[in-house]
Amino acid sequence: MMQKVNALDWRERRMVWHRRGVGITIITAIIALIFFFPVLIAIINSFKTKGEIIASAITMPKSPSLDNYRIVIEAADFPKAFLNSCLVTGGGIVLNIMVSTLAGYALARWKSVWADILTLVFLSSMFVPFHTIMIALLQTAKGLHLTGKIYGLILIYCGLQCPIPIFLIKGFVSSVPKELEEAAMIDGCGTLRMFFSITLPMLKPILATVAILNALWIWNDFLLPYLILAKPITIPLSQMYFFGQYNQQWNLIMAGFVVSTIPIVIFFLLMQKHIINGIASGAVKG
């Protein structure tokens, strides 16, 4: 009798477990742990000494210390790289969004064959790999004396990164009823004022998404800053030079990994919704 009750009890509990998704959650957790293993290893080893890592890379640190972090921040000139990365990303995004918004708006409202042709030209650039223009671009940048300068890199990002925002903004503006603008016009509103006080506020959500996704891309980009800047370092560049300089000192390299990843993780946590929705929505629409 007692046993039967227990069996029933057990079955019921299993049902509840199933409904609450305990089993699948545990499986997911195990997979997540495996997936996260490289990051864990990096974090653990960033607190160890070089000798400890040579002895074993998979043990916990005996006396965790922040020495590696101190060395990385000083030797890789991390604050400066961080500042440069912020400048390049921030400047690139602001300028990019400004010119793309104007262009996207104009192309949506300008009914002419030329608008279609221009849109097509902007769009066709998406098929061109960066490596195809890289050499000629570097020559152009040298010719314009833009190499080695942060603002030079910002200008180049603005040119290279504008097609997708223009396309998205154009699509969005086309879906906004024109009557709203015409009403404002009739009330005596000029084109400029109408753009800033009526159209722009409506564009805010899409602008935020575009800006954030572009920011992630620019922040992590390696090759263009490497070619154009070389010396004023951004974070990926600082890590590359640091890796070359401290080859095989994995304790330092792992600390560098953690330090350079923290800013982007904070950014992700703050902007999570925009990033995830941006990737999901932009992609599903194709």
Partner 1 sequence: MIFVLPALAFFIAFFIYPFFRSVWLSLTDAYGYNPEIHFIGLNNYKEALTNPNFKSSLWITVKYTAFVTVFANLVAIGLAFLLDGNVRLKKFFRAIFFLPNLMSLIIVSYVWVFLYGGVYQSFVSVLKIPDALQISWLGNETMALISIGITAVWQCAGYYMLIYIAGLQNIPHELIEAAQIDGASPWDIVQKIKFPMLAPVIFMNGLLLVTASFKAFDIPMAMTSGGPAGATTTIALQIYNTGFRANRTGYATAQSIILFVIICAITAVIYFLQNKGGDK
- Cα separation, 223 vs 144, in Å, equals 19
- Phi and psi (nearest 5°) for 56? -165, 135
Residue type, 132: T
Determine, following the binding rule CB under 8 A, whether residue 64 of this chain makes contact with partner 1. no
From 75-83, 136-144, 180-188, 202-210, give the range in contact with partner 1 by CB under 8 A: 136-144
Tokens of 32: 């997540």
Which of 71, 73, 83, 99 touches partner 1 by CB under 8 A? 99
- Give, as one character, the DSSP assignment of residue 126: G
Q: Nearest approach, Cβ of 141 to partner 1 (angstroms)? A: 8
From 63-71, 97-105, 173-181, 204-212, give the range in contact with partner 1 by CB under 8 A: 97-105
Residues 190-249 close enough to bind partner 1 by CB under 8 A: 216, 219-220, 222-223, 235-236, 239-240, 243
Which of 47, 82, 91, 163 touches partner 1 by CB under 8 A? 163
Q: Which is nearer to partner 1, 2 or 284 (CB)?
A: 284
From 20-28, 60-68, 73-81, 172-180, give the range in contact with partner 1 by CB under 8 A: 20-28
- Cα separation, 39 vs 57, in Å, equals 13
Q: Which is nearer to partner 1, 1 or 113 (CB)?
A: 113
Place of tokens 């671009």: 137
Give yes or no for a contact between 255 and 69, defined as CB atoms under 8 angstroms apart: yes
Q: Which is nearer to partner 1, 6 or 139 (CB)?
A: 139
Which of 53, 81, 150, 168 touches partner 1 by CB under 8 A? 53
Which of 6, 9, 15, 35 touches partner 1 by CB under 8 A? 35
User: In whole angstroms, how large is the CA radius of gyration of the chain?
Assistant: 26
Q: Is 118 helix (H, G, I), strand (E, B) or coil?
A: helix
Place of tokens 């030209």: 121
Tokens of 87: 């400048």
Mark residues 244-283: x for contact with partner 1 by CB under 8 A, - for none: ------x--xx-xx--xx--xx--x---x---x--xxx-x
- Cα separation, 256 vs 14, in Å, equals 46
Mark residues 114-133: x for contact with partner 1 by CB under 8 A, - for none: -x--x--xx--x-xxxxxxx
Give yes or no for a contact between 192 and 105, defined as CB atoms under 8 angstroms apart: no
Q: Nearest approach, Cβ of 180 to partner 1 (angstroms)? A: 18
Tokens of 112: 């002419």
From 65-73, 75-83, 94-102, 204-212, give the range in contact with partner 1 by CB under 8 A: 94-102
Q: Is 189 helix (H, G, I), strand (E, B) or coil?
A: coil
